[in-house]
Structures are given as C-alpha cells and as structure tokens.
C-alpha cells in the first residue's frame, strides 16, 4: 500500500492563542494574589490580638501565682501557730495529770473519800 506523501506530512493544529491581558485564567491568579496580599494583614492583626491576649493571661497568671504564694505563706504561718498551741496544750495536760495524781495521793493519805463532781473531778 502506497499512500500519497501528504499523509505523512506533519500539519500542526491551530491553537486558539489568547493574549496575556485577555486570559481569564491568569487574571484569576492575579485576583487571588491580591486576596493573599490582604490575608497577611488580617493574619498580622489576629496575631497581634492573640499576643495581647497572651500578655494579659500571663499577667493574670503571675498575679494569681503571687496571690497563691502569699496565701501559702499565711497558711504555713497559721500551721506553725497551731502546732505551737498544740504543744502548749500538751504541756498543760501533762501538768494537770501530774497535779491530779498528787491530789489523789494526798487524798488517800488523809483518808478523804473521793466523790467525783462536776467534770469527773
């Protein structure tokens, strides 16, 4: 089979050339660039708002931490005072017990009958 020469000859297909200024795809890219240009400003504003909020939270946490530290100091001081008072109470209880033993010894020597009264004394 012999085909004529024109079957083997390359004929380029014609394309529809759209100039840059009229190309809708390129214009759409340019529009998105302007939107992205605006986006960093919005992001910067949001970041600035978040940074201010973070600063306020840090200040509040510092204030609360200082307040908690002061309250812990007062609690420790009160605990020390309670411990001191407990020791004083123990000393007085031991003294009272010794005095009660001595009193019973004296009552026994003098043969004074023991009659518990108010409070068991």
Question: Would you list the DSSP string of 55-70?
Answer: HHHHHHHHHHHHHHHH
Quick one: tokens of 114? 């023991």
The band of 24, judged by pLDDT with boundaries at 50, 70 and 90, is: low
pLDDT of 86 strictly over 90: yes
DSSP 45: H
Q: pLDDT, tens digit, for every residue of 32-81?
A: 555 656 678 899 999 999 999 999 999 999 999 999 999 999 999 999 99
Q: What pLDDT does 5 receive?
A: 56
pLDDT top residue among 93 and 16: 93
pLDDT top residue among 58 and 21: 58
User: What percentage of residues in the chain have a pLDDT greater than 70?
Assistant: 64
Over range 24-33, report the average pLDDT. 57
Please measure the distance between the N-terminal and C-terminal CA atoms of the chain and give it in whole angstroms: 141
Place of tokens 């050339």: 17
Over range 73-101, report the average pLDDT. 97
pLDDT of 28 strictly over 70: no
């Amino acid at each position: 089979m012999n085909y004529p020469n024109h079957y083997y000859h390359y004929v380029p297909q014609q394309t529809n050339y759209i100039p840059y200024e009229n190309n809708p795809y390129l214009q759409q890219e340019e529009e998105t660039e302007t939107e992205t240009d605006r986006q960093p400003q919005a992001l910067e504003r949001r970041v600035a708002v978040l940074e201010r909020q973070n600063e306020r939270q840090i200040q509040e946490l510092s204030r609360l931490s200082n307040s908690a530290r002061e309250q812990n100091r007062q609690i420790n001081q009160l605990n020390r005072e309670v411990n001191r008072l407990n020791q004083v109470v123990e000393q007085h209880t031991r003294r009272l017990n010794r005095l009660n033993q001595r009193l019973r010894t004296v009552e026994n020597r003098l043969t004074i009958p023991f009659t518990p009264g108010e409070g068991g004394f």
